[in-house]
Copies of this chain bind each other. A is one copy, B any other.
Protein backbone atom coordinates (compact mmCIF):
# COMPACT_ATOMS: atom_id res chain seq x y z
CA UNK A 1 0.00 0.00 0.00
CA UNK A 2 0.95 3.58 -0.49
CA UNK A 3 2.02 5.58 2.50
CA UNK A 4 -0.51 7.90 4.11
CA UNK A 5 -0.10 10.89 6.32
CA UNK A 6 -0.75 8.55 9.21
CA UNK A 7 2.23 6.46 8.35
CA UNK A 8 4.45 9.48 8.12
CA UNK A 9 3.22 10.75 11.45
CA UNK A 10 3.92 7.48 13.18
CA UNK A 11 7.32 7.19 11.55
CA UNK A 12 8.30 10.69 12.63
CA UNK A 13 6.79 10.32 16.05
CA UNK A 14 4.50 13.30 15.68
CA UNK A 15 0.80 13.85 15.25
CA UNK A 16 -0.99 13.72 11.96
CA UNK A 17 -1.85 17.40 12.09
CA UNK A 18 1.76 18.39 12.46
CA UNK A 19 2.66 16.52 9.32
CA UNK A 20 -0.04 18.33 7.46
CA UNK A 21 1.27 21.66 8.68
CA UNK A 22 4.80 20.71 7.82
CA UNK A 23 4.05 20.32 4.16
CA UNK A 24 1.44 23.00 3.78
CA UNK A 25 3.43 25.52 5.78
CA UNK A 26 0.23 27.09 6.99
CA UNK A 27 1.15 26.69 10.63
CA UNK A 28 4.62 26.95 12.09
CA UNK A 29 6.48 23.75 12.77
CA UNK A 30 9.70 23.43 14.74
CA UNK A 31 12.60 23.23 12.40
CA UNK A 32 13.85 20.05 13.97
CA UNK A 33 10.42 18.42 13.79
CA UNK A 34 10.05 19.36 10.16
CA UNK A 35 13.37 17.69 9.42
CA UNK A 36 12.17 14.49 10.94
CA UNK A 37 8.89 14.64 9.06
CA UNK A 38 10.55 15.35 5.74
CA UNK A 39 12.88 12.45 6.29
CA UNK A 40 9.99 10.16 7.12
CA UNK A 41 8.11 11.24 4.00
CA UNK A 42 11.14 10.55 1.94
CA UNK A 43 11.78 7.12 3.36
CA UNK A 44 8.19 6.11 2.95
CA UNK A 45 7.89 7.60 -0.51
CA UNK A 46 4.91 9.58 0.64
CA UNK A 47 2.79 11.65 -1.72
CA UNK A 48 -0.42 13.26 -0.56
CA UNK A 49 -3.58 11.70 -1.91
CA UNK A 50 -5.02 14.38 -4.11
CA UNK A 51 -8.44 12.81 -4.09
CA UNK A 52 -8.65 13.19 -0.35
CA UNK A 53 -7.20 16.65 -0.47
CA UNK A 54 -9.66 17.66 -3.15
CA UNK A 55 -12.49 16.31 -1.10
CA UNK A 56 -11.77 18.37 1.95
CA UNK A 57 -10.57 21.46 0.12
CA UNK A 58 -13.42 21.49 -2.36
CA UNK A 59 -10.80 22.17 -4.95
CA UNK A 60 -9.36 19.56 -7.27
CA UNK A 61 -6.86 21.63 -9.23
CA UNK A 62 -8.12 19.92 -12.33
CA UNK A 63 -9.20 21.71 -15.47
CA UNK A 64 -11.49 19.93 -17.89
CA UNK A 65 -10.98 20.53 -21.58
CA UNK A 66 -13.85 19.58 -23.83
CA UNK A 67 -13.09 19.06 -27.47
CA UNK A 68 -15.16 17.82 -30.30
CA UNK A 69 -14.69 14.36 -31.58
CA UNK A 70 -11.59 12.39 -31.68
CA UNK A 71 -9.95 12.40 -35.04
CA UNK A 72 -10.50 16.14 -35.09
CA UNK A 73 -7.56 16.32 -32.77
CA UNK A 74 -5.48 16.04 -35.87
CA UNK A 75 -6.84 19.40 -36.82
CA UNK A 76 -4.11 21.86 -36.25
CA UNK A 77 -6.31 24.14 -34.20
CA UNK A 78 -6.91 21.71 -31.38
CA UNK A 79 -3.33 20.66 -30.95
CA UNK A 80 -2.08 24.21 -30.84
CA UNK A 81 -4.69 25.45 -28.42
CA UNK A 82 -4.13 22.42 -26.24
CA UNK A 83 -0.45 23.16 -26.17
CA UNK A 84 -1.13 26.69 -25.00
CA UNK A 85 -3.54 25.40 -22.39
CA UNK A 86 -1.08 22.87 -21.14
CA UNK A 87 1.70 25.35 -20.70
CA UNK A 88 -0.32 27.77 -18.66
CA UNK A 89 -2.09 25.07 -16.68
CA UNK A 90 1.21 23.58 -15.73
CA UNK A 91 2.40 27.00 -14.67
CA UNK A 92 -0.59 27.49 -12.40
CA UNK A 93 -0.56 24.01 -10.94
CA UNK A 94 -3.53 22.45 -12.68
CA UNK A 95 -3.81 19.02 -14.17
CA UNK A 96 -5.69 18.56 -17.39
CA UNK A 97 -8.55 16.23 -18.00
CA UNK A 98 -9.60 15.66 -21.57
CA UNK A 99 -13.21 15.08 -22.59
CA UNK A 100 -14.43 14.25 -26.05
CA UNK A 101 -17.79 14.87 -27.57
CA UNK A 102 -18.77 13.21 -30.81
CA UNK A 103 -21.91 14.88 -31.99
CA UNK A 104 -23.45 17.85 -30.32
CA UNK A 105 -26.62 16.23 -29.19
CA UNK A 106 -28.06 17.61 -26.03
CA UNK A 107 -27.72 14.31 -24.25
CA UNK A 108 -24.07 14.03 -24.99
CA UNK A 109 -23.38 17.57 -23.90
CA UNK A 110 -25.18 17.09 -20.63
CA UNK A 111 -23.52 13.78 -19.96
CA UNK A 112 -20.14 15.34 -20.44
CA UNK A 113 -20.96 18.27 -18.22
CA UNK A 114 -22.23 15.96 -15.52
CA UNK A 115 -19.15 13.83 -15.66
CA UNK A 116 -16.99 16.90 -15.29
CA UNK A 117 -19.08 18.08 -12.43
CA UNK A 118 -18.92 14.68 -10.79
CA UNK A 119 -15.16 14.75 -10.98
CA UNK A 120 -15.20 18.13 -9.34
CA UNK A 121 -13.09 19.90 -11.90
CA UNK A 122 -12.34 23.48 -10.90
CA UNK A 123 -13.09 24.85 -14.33
CA UNK A 124 -13.99 24.01 -17.90
CA UNK A 125 -12.55 25.07 -21.20
CA UNK A 126 -15.18 24.48 -23.80
CA UNK A 127 -13.31 24.09 -27.05
CA UNK A 128 -16.06 22.53 -29.11
CA UNK A 129 -16.41 24.50 -32.25
CA UNK A 130 -19.64 26.27 -32.52
CA UNK A 131 -21.95 25.06 -35.19
CA UNK A 132 -25.55 25.73 -36.00
CA UNK A 133 -27.89 25.37 -33.10
CA UNK A 134 -25.15 25.27 -30.55
CA UNK A 135 -26.39 28.39 -28.88
CA UNK A 136 -29.07 26.05 -27.72
CA UNK A 137 -26.89 23.74 -25.70
CA UNK A 138 -24.65 26.48 -24.51
CA UNK A 139 -27.55 27.51 -22.35
CA UNK A 140 -27.30 24.23 -20.54
CA UNK A 141 -23.92 25.15 -19.31
CA UNK A 142 -25.42 28.20 -17.67
CA UNK A 143 -28.40 26.72 -15.93
CA UNK A 144 -26.79 23.69 -14.33
CA UNK A 145 -24.58 23.73 -11.30
CA UNK A 146 -21.25 23.62 -13.07
CA UNK A 147 -17.82 25.05 -12.46
CA UNK A 148 -16.85 28.21 -14.34
CA UNK A 149 -16.60 27.82 -18.11
CA UNK A 150 -14.51 29.53 -20.72
CA UNK A 151 -15.63 29.20 -24.31
CA UNK A 152 -12.75 28.87 -26.67
CA UNK A 153 -13.00 29.92 -30.29
CA UNK A 154 -16.63 30.88 -30.36
CA UNK A 155 -18.69 33.78 -31.43
CA UNK A 156 -18.36 36.45 -28.74
CA UNK A 157 -21.29 36.73 -26.37
CA UNK A 158 -21.47 39.33 -23.62
CA UNK A 159 -23.11 36.87 -21.26
CA UNK A 160 -20.28 34.35 -21.57
CA UNK A 161 -16.58 34.16 -20.96
CA UNK A 162 -15.06 33.69 -24.34
CA UNK A 163 -11.55 33.71 -25.71
CA UNK A 164 -11.60 33.74 -29.44
CA UNK A 165 -9.94 34.83 -32.62
CA UNK A 166 -11.15 37.43 -35.05
CA UNK A 167 -11.77 35.17 -38.02
CA UNK A 168 -13.39 37.83 -40.10
CA UNK A 169 -10.37 40.08 -39.70
CA UNK A 170 -8.11 37.18 -40.64
CA UNK A 171 -9.98 36.59 -43.86
CA UNK A 172 -9.92 40.30 -44.61
CA UNK A 173 -6.18 40.32 -44.22
CA UNK A 174 -5.87 37.53 -46.75
CA UNK A 175 -8.24 39.01 -49.30
CA UNK A 176 -6.96 42.55 -48.99
CA UNK A 177 -3.49 41.25 -49.66
CA UNK A 178 -4.68 39.48 -52.81
CA UNK A 179 -6.41 42.60 -54.02
CA UNK A 180 -3.29 44.55 -53.42
CA UNK A 181 -1.43 42.06 -55.58
CA UNK A 182 -3.71 43.05 -58.39
CA UNK A 183 -6.28 40.28 -58.22
CA UNK A 184 -9.80 41.08 -59.32
CA UNK A 185 -11.63 37.76 -59.22
CA UNK A 186 -11.05 35.91 -56.00
CA UNK A 187 -12.64 32.58 -55.22
CA UNK A 188 -13.03 31.11 -51.75
CA UNK A 189 -13.02 27.55 -50.46
CA UNK A 190 -14.79 27.65 -47.12
CA UNK A 191 -15.09 25.20 -44.25
CA UNK A 192 -18.40 23.50 -43.46
CA UNK A 193 -21.15 26.10 -43.74
CA UNK A 194 -22.47 25.48 -40.24
CA UNK A 195 -19.21 26.26 -38.47
CA UNK A 196 -18.90 29.66 -36.96
CA UNK A 197 -15.34 30.00 -38.24
CA UNK A 198 -16.49 29.29 -41.77
CA UNK A 199 -19.14 31.95 -41.61
CA UNK A 200 -16.82 34.54 -40.17
CA UNK A 201 -14.13 33.91 -42.76
CA UNK A 202 -16.63 33.97 -45.57
CA UNK A 203 -17.98 37.25 -44.22
CA UNK A 204 -14.47 38.68 -44.21
CA UNK A 205 -13.97 37.63 -47.79
CA UNK A 206 -17.27 39.12 -48.88
CA UNK A 207 -16.95 42.37 -47.02
CA UNK A 208 -13.46 43.05 -48.24
CA UNK A 209 -14.39 42.35 -51.83
CA UNK A 210 -17.49 44.49 -51.64
CA UNK A 211 -15.57 47.39 -50.25
CA UNK A 212 -13.27 47.12 -53.23
CA UNK A 213 -16.21 46.85 -55.57
CA UNK A 214 -15.28 43.36 -56.69
CA UNK A 215 -17.27 40.28 -57.57
CA UNK A 216 -18.75 38.19 -54.76
CA UNK A 217 -20.99 35.99 -56.82
CA UNK A 218 -21.97 32.62 -55.35
CA UNK A 219 -20.13 30.92 -58.18
CA UNK A 220 -16.96 32.02 -56.43
CA UNK A 221 -17.87 30.26 -53.19
CA UNK A 222 -17.18 26.57 -52.69
CA UNK A 223 -17.83 24.69 -49.47
CA UNK A 224 -15.20 22.25 -48.27
CA UNK A 225 -14.90 20.26 -45.05
CA UNK A 226 -11.42 21.32 -43.84
CA UNK A 227 -9.79 18.23 -45.33
CA UNK A 228 -7.30 18.34 -48.17
CA UNK A 229 -9.43 16.03 -50.27
CA UNK A 230 -12.26 18.55 -50.29
CA UNK A 231 -9.82 21.27 -51.30
CA UNK A 232 -8.96 19.22 -54.36
CA UNK A 233 -12.57 18.85 -55.36
CA UNK A 234 -13.62 22.40 -54.64
CA UNK A 235 -10.74 23.74 -56.64
CA UNK A 236 -11.75 21.54 -59.52
CA UNK A 237 -15.30 22.84 -59.50
CA UNK A 238 -14.20 26.39 -58.96
CA UNK A 239 -11.87 26.35 -61.95
CA UNK A 240 -14.58 24.84 -64.08
CA UNK A 241 -17.31 27.29 -63.23
CA UNK A 242 -15.09 30.35 -63.00
CA UNK A 243 -12.14 29.98 -65.37
CA UNK A 244 -11.61 33.70 -65.00
CA UNK A 245 -10.45 33.67 -61.38
CA UNK A 246 -7.01 34.98 -60.62
CA UNK A 247 -6.80 34.02 -56.97
CA UNK A 248 -8.21 31.63 -54.37
CA UNK A 249 -8.55 31.98 -50.64
CA UNK A 250 -8.65 28.57 -48.97
CA UNK A 251 -10.00 28.68 -45.44
CA UNK A 252 -7.38 26.35 -44.08
CA UNK A 253 -4.00 25.08 -45.13
CA UNK A 254 -5.04 21.51 -45.79
CA UNK A 255 -7.62 22.61 -48.31
CA UNK A 256 -5.02 24.92 -49.83
CA UNK A 257 -2.82 21.88 -50.26
CA UNK A 258 -5.63 20.20 -52.13
CA UNK A 259 -6.05 23.31 -54.24
CA UNK A 260 -2.39 23.21 -55.18
CA UNK A 261 -2.81 19.58 -56.12
CA UNK A 262 -5.61 20.39 -58.53
CA UNK A 263 -3.77 23.33 -59.99
CA UNK A 264 -0.78 21.08 -60.68
CA UNK A 265 -2.95 18.43 -62.18
CA UNK A 266 -4.44 20.96 -64.59
CA UNK A 267 -1.08 22.38 -65.44
CA UNK A 268 -1.71 25.69 -63.77
CA UNK A 269 1.16 27.39 -62.06
CA UNK A 270 0.90 29.11 -58.71
CA UNK A 271 1.57 32.00 -58.50
CA UNK A 272 2.00 32.60 -62.22
CA UNK A 273 -1.52 31.72 -63.27
CA UNK A 274 -3.23 32.01 -59.96
CA UNK A 275 -2.50 33.32 -56.47
CA UNK A 276 -3.35 31.31 -53.37
CA UNK A 277 -3.68 32.05 -49.67
CA UNK A 278 -4.39 29.59 -46.86
CA UNK A 279 -5.37 29.81 -43.22
CA UNK A 280 -3.71 28.49 -40.03
CA UNK A 281 -0.10 28.93 -40.97
CA UNK A 282 0.83 25.40 -39.99
CA UNK A 283 4.54 24.62 -39.81
CA UNK A 284 4.30 22.75 -43.08
CA UNK A 285 3.11 25.48 -45.40
CA UNK A 286 6.62 26.85 -45.80
CA UNK A 287 7.43 23.52 -47.43
CA UNK A 288 4.52 23.46 -49.81
CA UNK A 289 5.40 24.08 -53.42
CA UNK A 290 5.11 26.96 -53.78
CA UNK A 291 5.46 28.10 -50.16
CA UNK A 292 2.00 29.13 -49.02
CA UNK A 293 0.92 32.52 -47.75
CA UNK A 294 -1.28 31.92 -44.74
CA UNK A 295 -3.06 33.51 -41.79
CA UNK A 296 -1.52 32.86 -38.40
CA UNK A 297 -4.13 32.65 -35.68
CA UNK A 298 -2.34 32.81 -32.38
CA UNK A 299 -3.95 29.62 -31.17
CA UNK A 300 -1.26 28.96 -28.65
CA UNK A 301 -1.94 32.30 -27.12
CA UNK A 302 -5.67 31.74 -27.02
CA UNK A 303 -5.25 28.55 -25.04
CA UNK A 304 -2.98 30.27 -22.61
CA UNK A 305 -5.28 33.20 -22.09
CA UNK A 306 -8.22 30.90 -21.54
CA UNK A 307 -6.46 29.19 -18.67
CA UNK A 308 -5.33 32.47 -17.18
CA UNK A 309 -8.81 33.86 -17.20
CA UNK A 310 -10.31 30.67 -15.86
CA UNK A 311 -7.82 30.71 -13.06
CA UNK A 312 -8.81 34.22 -12.09
CA UNK A 313 -12.45 33.27 -11.95
CA UNK A 314 -11.70 30.21 -9.88
CA UNK A 315 -9.56 32.15 -7.46
CA UNK A 316 -12.21 34.80 -7.08
CA UNK A 317 -14.62 32.12 -5.97
CA UNK A 318 -18.35 31.85 -6.21
CA UNK A 319 -19.05 34.67 -3.81
CA UNK A 320 -16.95 37.15 -5.77
CA UNK A 321 -18.26 36.64 -9.28
CA UNK A 322 -16.15 38.06 -12.06
CA UNK A 323 -17.98 39.81 -14.88
CA UNK A 324 -17.88 37.83 -18.16
CA UNK A 325 -15.12 38.89 -20.47
CA UNK A 326 -14.53 38.61 -24.19
CA UNK A 327 -11.01 38.24 -25.36
CA UNK A 328 -10.53 38.59 -29.09
CA UNK A 329 -7.17 37.84 -30.63
CA UNK A 330 -6.11 39.42 -33.89
CA UNK A 331 -4.58 37.11 -36.48
CA UNK A 332 -1.65 37.97 -38.71
CA UNK A 333 -0.83 37.34 -42.33
CA UNK A 334 2.38 35.57 -43.20
CA UNK A 335 3.27 36.22 -46.80
CA UNK A 336 5.05 33.64 -48.91
CA UNK A 337 5.51 33.04 -52.58
CA UNK A 338 2.09 31.56 -53.39
CA UNK A 339 0.53 35.01 -53.26
CA UNK A 340 3.19 37.18 -54.78
CA UNK A 341 2.33 38.31 -58.24
CA UNK A 342 5.48 38.17 -60.33
CA UNK A 343 4.08 40.34 -63.07
CA UNK A 344 3.53 43.11 -60.62
CA UNK A 345 6.94 42.81 -59.03
Chain A residues close to B by CB (< 8 Å): 2, 45, 47-52, 54-55, 60, 62, 70-71, 73-74, 76, 79-80, 82-83, 86-87, 90, 95-100, 114-115, 117-120, 144-145, 227-229, 231-232, 254, 257-258, 260-261, 264-265, 282-284, 286-289, 291
Measured CB to CB, the closest approach of chain B to A173, in angstroms, equals 23
| Distance A231 CA – B288 CA, assembled complex (angstroms) | 11
Q: Which residue of B55, B74, B83, B282 contacts A52 across the interface (Cβ within 8 Å)?
A: B55
Are A45 and B265 neighbours in the complex by a CB distance under 8 Å? no
| Distance A64 CA – B288 CA, assembled complex (angstroms) | 36
Q: Which residue of B70, B97, B228, B282 contacts A98 across the interface (Cβ within 8 Å)?
A: B97
| Distance A115 CA – B79 CA, assembled complex (angstroms) | 23
Closest B residue to A95 using CB positions = B97
Q: Which residue of B2, B51, B118, B289 contacts A55 across the interface (Cβ within 8 Å)?
A: B51
Name the B residues within 8 Å of A229 (CB-CB). Answer: 283, 286-287
Report if A49-B118 is in contact (Cβ < 8 Å); known contacts: A2-B145, A98-B96: yes
Listed by A's residue number, 26 A-B pairs whose Cβ atoms lie within 8 Å are A2-B117, A47-B117, A47-B118, A48-B118, A51-B51, A51-B119, A55-B55, A70-B83, A73-B73, A73-B79, A73-B83, A74-B76, A95-B97, A95-B99, A95-B115, A96-B97, A97-B97, A231-B287, A232-B287, A257-B284, A257-B288, A258-B287, A261-B288, A261-B289, A264-B289, A265-B289
Q: Which residue of B50, B99, B144, B286 contacts A119 across the interface (Cβ within 8 Å)?
A: B50
| Distance A117 CA – B45 CA, assembled complex (angstroms) | 11
Closest B residue to A265 using CB positions = B289
Are B83 and A71 neighbours in the complex by a CB distance under 8 Å? yes
| Distance A70 CA – B83 CA, assembled complex (angstroms) | 5
Interface of A (DSSP majority class):
helix
Q: Which residue of B70, B90, B254 contacts A86 across the interface (Cβ within 8 Å)?
A: B70
Measured CB to CB, the closest approach of chain B to A264, in angstroms, equals 4
Closest B residue to A44 using CB positions = B145
This chain: copies in complex: 2
Measured CB to CB, the closest approach of chain B to A132, in angstroms, equals 25
Measured CB to CB, the closest approach of chain B to A298, in angstroms, equals 14
Measured CB to CB, the closest approach of chain B to A256, in angstroms, equals 10
| Distance A19 CA – B83 CA, assembled complex (angstroms) | 42
| Distance A189 CA – B115 CA, assembled complex (angstroms) | 46
| Distance A130 CA – B60 CA, assembled complex (angstroms) | 32
| Distance A333 CA – B82 CA, assembled complex (angstroms) | 31
Measured CB to CB, the closest approach of chain B to A227, in angstroms, equals 6
Question: Given known contacts A49-B120, A52-B55, what 20 new A-B pairs fall within 8 Å (CB)?
Answer: A2-B117, A45-B144, A47-B114, A47-B117, A51-B51, A55-B55, A71-B79, A73-B73, A74-B79, A74-B80, A90-B100, A95-B97, A96-B97, A228-B283, A228-B286, A228-B287, A232-B287, A257-B288, A261-B289, A264-B289
| Distance A52 CA – B80 CA, assembled complex (angstroms) | 34
Q: Which 10 A-B pairs have the closest CB atoms?
A: A228-B287, A70-B83, A264-B289, A73-B79, A258-B287, A47-B118, A74-B79, A228-B284, A50-B118, A261-B289
Name the B residues within 8 Å of A80 (CB-CB). Answer: 71, 74
